């Protein structure tokens, strides 16, 4: 991280330490809305970090956003911060004004007709809480960014295993704002995968820190369990998995900053999401083994991270889907291009 990102990391970490508390997360899982947390994020400009300065944003980079999104993942922040950041990025590219209130993103089967949107979006993050949602739709003009008000959308509530809202929204000829954004049709899937991989990197960091701390505090046979070689070996594996995902997601964010179109960063994003998926299975198993029975209780905070990791790995493309994409891309280039394709980055 550069100096500015170090300052940003300290600021957002302090904010989340203060507001993304165990009580706030539990309250959100019971159907509440953590207003104090959301207001603090908005007041500090975190939701608009990728929005251009001309549109009242921070004009930051994906590498800067990586710092914020990773911290949100580490704190299991029960708000659509990452989604709002991605929405701001798309709206900024399209020159559409980002509205006040809660803005999320959605993927779905949509049709545009004269500035009116029809279709269905499933598994929309915090659809019930948001006032607007951003998506990309293929039209006669190419790929258009769409800002849709949710006031007139039909809502069907649902949630993931982390009890985060993942709702279905149905639109019937609703008036929306549209503009050409210069993004590929799969941009939401691409940048969404980067967003989730980054959150997962943060959650894995939390698992590592929490597991090391618990191993040094929990005693067995007269000494901390962290002194036993078997536990030390498991913690070393956990740390390695966490570090690998952190590096992969940071590299993908850096690549996203260097290219003008998301599909040019698809290789790095696919690698990050695939690596995060692989690490989740290993890391959550180790973390719960280290914690023993207490890690499975609702009163302990470990599950806030593990349940989100299990949920996030399936969103915006699973690791298996992205690994399949990588394999197809590699095969399509032929054997002679394999080594240059991998090492050019």
Q: Tens of pLDDT along 147-156? A: 999 999 999 9
Give the dihedral sign, CA 337/338/340/341: positive
Residues of the chain with CATH 2.40.110.10: 3-180
- For 8, 108, 152, 173, 222, the CA distances from 170, given in Å and listed in that order, are 38, 10, 9, 10, 60
CATH topology of domain 3-180: Butyryl-CoA Dehydrogenase, subunit A; domain 2 (2.40.110)
- Res. 262 pLDDT band, cuts 50 70 90: low
Q: Residues 67, 12: contact at Cβ < 8 Å? A: yes
Least confident range from 71-80, 210-219, 292-301, 311-320: namely: 292-301
- pLDDT confidence bin for 294, thresholds 50/70/90: confident
Segments of the chain assigned to CATH 1.20.140.10: 187-343
Using 50, 70 and 90 to split pLDDT, how confident is the model at 261?
low
What residues contact residue 300 under an 8 Å CB cut-off, 6+ apart? 291, 294
Q: Which residue has the higher pLDDT, 293 or 161?
A: 161
Q: Is pLDDT of 19 > 90?
A: yes
For residue 21 the two structure tokens come to 């508390």
pLDDT at 141 over 80: no
Q: Which helix (H) or strand (E) holds 128?
A: none
Rounded Cα distance between 32 and 333, Å, is 50
Q: For the residues 108-137, what does the mean pLDDT come to? A: 96
CA–CA distances in Å: residue 315 to residues 86, 223, 239, 304, 325: 14, 41, 24, 17, 15
pLDDT in tens, 211-258: 999 999 998 888 999 889 999 999 999 999 999 999 999 999 999 999
187-343 fold: Butyryl-CoA Dehydrogenase, subunit A; domain 3 (1.20.140)
Measured CA to CA in angstroms, residue 243 lies from 84, 146, 207, 223, 294 at distances of 26, 36, 12, 28, 25
User: Tokens 């695939």 map to which residue?
Assistant: 274
pTM: 0.95
């Amino acid at each position: 991280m550069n100096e500015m990102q170090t300052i940003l990391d300290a600021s957002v970490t302090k904010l989340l330490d203060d507001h993304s508390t165990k009580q706030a997360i539990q309250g959100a899982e019971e159907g509440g809305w953590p207003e104090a947390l959301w207001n603090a994020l908005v007041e500090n400009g975190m939701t608009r970090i990728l929005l251009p300065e001309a549109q009242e944003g921070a004009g930051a980079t994906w590498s800067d956003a990586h710092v914020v999104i990773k911290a949100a993942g580490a704190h299991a922040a029960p708000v659509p911060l990452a989604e709002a950041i991605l929405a701001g990025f798309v709206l900024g590219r399209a020159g559409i004004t980002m509205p006040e209130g809660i803005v999320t993103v959605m993927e779905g089967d949509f049709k545009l007709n004269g500035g009116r949107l029809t279709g269905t979006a499933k598994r929309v993050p915090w659809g019930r809480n948001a006032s607007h949602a951003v998506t990309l739709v293929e039209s006669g003009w190419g790929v258009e960014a769409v800002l849709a008000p949710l006031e007139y959308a039909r809502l069907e509530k649902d949630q993931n295993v982390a009890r985060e809202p993942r709702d279905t929204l149905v639109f019937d000829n609703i008036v929306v704002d549209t503009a050409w954004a210069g993004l590929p049709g799969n941009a939401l899937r691409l940048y969404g995968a980067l967003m989730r991989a980054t959150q997962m990197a943060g959650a894995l960091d939390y698992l590592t820190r929490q597991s090391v701390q618990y191993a040094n505090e929990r005693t067995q046979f007269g000494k901390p369990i962290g002194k036993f070689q078997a536990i030390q070996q498991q913690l070393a594996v956990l740390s390695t998995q966490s570090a690998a995902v952190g590096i992969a997601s940071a590299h993908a964010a850096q690549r996203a900053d260097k290219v003008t179109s998301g599909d040019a960063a698809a290789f790095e994003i696919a690698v990050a999401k695939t690596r995060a998926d692989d690490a989740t299975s290993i890391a959550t198993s180790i973390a719960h083994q280290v914690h023993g029975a207490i890690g499975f209780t609702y009163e302990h905070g470990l599950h806030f991270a593990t349940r989100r990791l299990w949920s996030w790995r399936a969103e915006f493309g699973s690791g298996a889907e992205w690994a399949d994409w990588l394999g197809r891309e590699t095969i399509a280039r032929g054997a002679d291009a394999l080594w240059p394709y991998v090492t050019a980055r």
